Each structure stands twice: as C-alpha cells, then as structure tokens.
Structure 1
C-alpha cells in the first residue's frame, strides 16, 4: 500500500524522440560528433502510443522532446493523439512555434533559440512572447554546476551559457513564460539519484509551475523529492520507468502522485 499524500506535486511524463523513435538517452552524451550516444531504451511503440497512455491516465503537462532531425512526424502524431495535453520542445523558434500550437501542443519549450552565443537573447524571447503569448511558453533552464553556481547549458547540453540560474534571474525570466522545465544535466538519464541541492534551490526560487527532471529512480526517491521541494515542484521520470525499460512501475508513480493508497 502506498502512503496517502496531499501534495501540489504532479507527475509530468515525457516522450523523448531520437531518429523518429521513442528512446531514453543519457542526454549529456548528445551533441558530440566523436562521442557515442548512450541509449538506455528504444521502444517498439510509437509516440502516439505513449500519448494515448498519458491521456488515459489524465496526466497533463508532459513534454515531447525532439532530439535532433527526423522526429517531427512522430512528435505531431503525439500532439494529435492528446490535443492540448502535451508540451513540445527541440528546435522551436519564433518562426515555427505557432505550427506546433496549431498541431495540438499546449505549450512550446525553448532553450537554445533564446540562449545562443552564450547569452540570453532578449530580442528573440520577446519575439516569441509576442507571437504566441507567454501563456504558451515554457523556458527550459536545464543547467550544470560550475564553481558552485548553476548555469544554463545549451546546444544539446554541450555549451555553458553565461546565464546563472539563481533567485534573481528566475524572478526576472518568469515574467516571460508560463512554466519552467529544468533538467539536472549531470544526472539526467543515469538513474543515479537526483541533484538534491538543485531541487532545494528551485523550490526556494521559483514562483510559477516548475518541472524538475533528472535521477529520480524509485518511490523512495519520489518521496524524498517531495520532501526536499515541499511538494512545490513537478517531476519528470524517464529511464527509471517501467514503460521505458526501467524498474519503477509507471502506474505506481501515477497513483502516488495522485495520492492514491
């Protein structure tokens, strides 16, 4: 029996697409020409299968991420299967964002488009907001720690930007978006446990819906995450889930986050 919980924490599912297939990848191995991509899982099912599963379980706010080219058809199929139930990221720009909204995405997710050449491009950010509205925009502040501080990393997490993630920068950037998505890059996909200090920091700094991803691998981890974040953050679990070849039962996670015994 699961412990009954009362929480604002939601389970936010994910569909990661690589070469047109649903996969779970160690994200930090992407983006390097001479580095082999580490794949934890490749599904026999298409993206629409997972979108249907998330719809059946009434899970909202999940994200579809296109990891490189060749994923648009699969992504669109997921969005059309669960209209207004999924967010989409990967190669989103001011020019194509509306197309994905029209295809059924509740929000678009952006990182590298607004963080390029190592800096936050306010012109691009403002252009995006003007085109689709802040209520349709999720900013991905996936980050790594350097010299004791968190910095956004871009270009498939291969490059540090100069954008420090802290209380002040979070407060400022929240004015331009509806939600935040933050991967703990150094632990994402490794099933090695969460980055606890980042969880604590985000819970303290954020005031809009924020989803953390990286390292949660068990119900005990989920309980610890909930405690560290005071139930304030949402959580994504990928490689550890049974539907992606892991040991953590998908339905058990859904039930726990819904407070079902």
Structure 2
C-alpha cells in the first residue's frame, strides 16, 4: 500500500523470533516482554481489527543471521493485507527472494548503509516504492548490525544520500526510546521529515493515543506500533481513527 498525502498509515508490529511473535526491550535478546505463539494468527488479529498493513521484523535474521522464512511465509499466507519486512537482509539474493514472495516493502538496514549500491540495484529492479532504508538512531547517530555498531553520521545526514541511491521511503527508529513504553521525542522526527521529500515511517516509544496525535501532526507518512498494542496501552481500533490527517 503506497503512502498517501492525506494520511498517516498505522502499522502494527509483528516481530518474529524462534517461531513466536515477541516484543523486546530496546532490541536486546532475552528481554522479551511479549511472547506469543503463531505470529501469523497475531497478524490476522490485527488485520481483523482494521489494520491495512503489517510491519514484520525477522529478529532471528537480525540477531543470528538465520532467516525465519517459514514464519514469514505463514504470515503471507494467512493475511490478505500487505506487509513491510526487515531483519537480517544481508545479500541481494535474499532480498530478491523476499521481494519475489510479494513483500510489499523491503526494509534494508546494514547492507544498504554499508553498500548503498544495493539500494540502487534493488530499486531499479523492483521499483523504489518497494525499497525502504532503515535509519536507526541512538544518541542522534545511526546504528547498524542490530543496533550494536554506531557510525558517525546522523539520520538527517544519511537521509538525503539514500534518496539519491533510490530508496522510496525511510523507516526511522529512535532506539533511545524503543520498547520502553515511555513516549518519544518529536524533534528528531520533524527534523528528518523536513530534510527529505520521500515518505518517513516512525517507530519507537509510541505509548499513548496522544503520541499518535502528535505524530499525525508532525506530518510523518506512517508509524509502527509494537509494545503499546501488546501491553494494552493503545487500542488499535481507536488508533486507526488517526490515519486521516
């Protein structure tokens, strides 16, 4: 589903690890605050409540380099709405394999930042709308390799480069607040949104309906909600009312 000017697409997160749907605290293995069987049924639950897109992260691929392809395929087979997928995409061959499964948008992180020509190649082959670059920020510096390595550039500094390489959208995750259920900072989101003219999807720290209202007003094109949904801090049906501007 492409982004629309007059709305902010709201996407529930279905993070997968060891065949389960989990939510980690700041991406740390072993910090599971949520652990549910059958991720495909979790995704179907969000679809049934009205979600128009699901955000899937393969944590096995990110953490261990072992892709959860079986679970990804189960999710694709269970739901009828599009998914955007990231996590552990370390080669062009694997990226193509996923795109050929009819993943709507593929989220490229470390590989794209270290080898930006891969973004150009995939965008040329599949269309830039299907290629999203992930800019994860800690202390206003981009982090890669599952948030374990920091590079000396800010998200704003990198964002303009990746538009030139062909990325159709950006996923911006504020690692400083991700998974903590304590809210988020608006300024980094607004600064990034103002620096480029391609769609920005925000993730990290979204905890209340007021947070969703603020993000709607910030002009971002989409948001990802994870822990707050699973811990009943946010009701998805209520949140979806704020997709329209």
Q: Would the TM-score normalized by the shorter structure come out above 0.5?
A: yes
TM-score normalised by L of structure 1: 0.80
Aligned runs of 1:155-174 on 2, under 5 Å? 155-166=145-156, 169-174=158-163
Structure 1 pair 178/157, CA: closer, same or farther in 2 (3 Å)? same
Shift of 1:256: 3.4
Match of 1:43 among 11, 16, 36: 36
* Offset from partner CA, 1:192-233 (integer Å, 9 cap, x none): 111222122122123122110011111122222223x1x333
* Offset from partner CA, 1:103-159 (integer Å, 9 cap, x none): 2311211111123xxxx32333333334433232111011112xxxx3211111011
Match of 2:79 among 79, 82, 92: 82
Distance 1:83 1:95 in 2: 25
RMSD: 2.3
Structure 1 pair 255/114, CA: closer, same or farther in 2 (3 Å)? same
Distance 2:190 2:39 in 1: 33
Shift of 1:57: 4.6
Q: Report how many aligned residue pairs link the two structures.
A: 234
Q: Does the 8 A contact of 2:189 with 2:202 survive in 1?
A: yes
Aligned runs of 1:1-261 on 2, under 5 Å? 8-30=7-29, 37-44=30-37, 46-68=38-60, 69=66, 71-82=68-79, 85-92=82-89, 93-115=91-113, 120-145=114-139, 150-166=140-156, 169-175=158-164, 176-227=166-217, 229=218, 231-241=219-229, 244-258=230-244
SS class of match (2:227): coil
Unmatched 5+ residue regions in structure 2? 61-65
Q: Does the 8 A contact of 2:119 with 2:167 survive in 1?
A: no
Distance 2:235 2:211 in 1: 13
Distance 1:15 1:64 in 2: 5
Aligned to 2:63: none
TM-score normalised by L of structure 2: 0.85
Unmatched 5+ residue regions in structure 1? 1-5, 31-36
Distance 1:90 1:252 in 2: 29
The structure having more radius of gyration, on CA atoms, is: 1
Structure 1 pair 38/9, CA: closer, same or farther in 2 (3 Å)? same
* Offset from partner CA, 1:68-127 (integer Å, 9 cap, x none): 236221111112333560011112231111221222311211111123xxxx32333333
Distance 2:132 2:54 in 1: 12
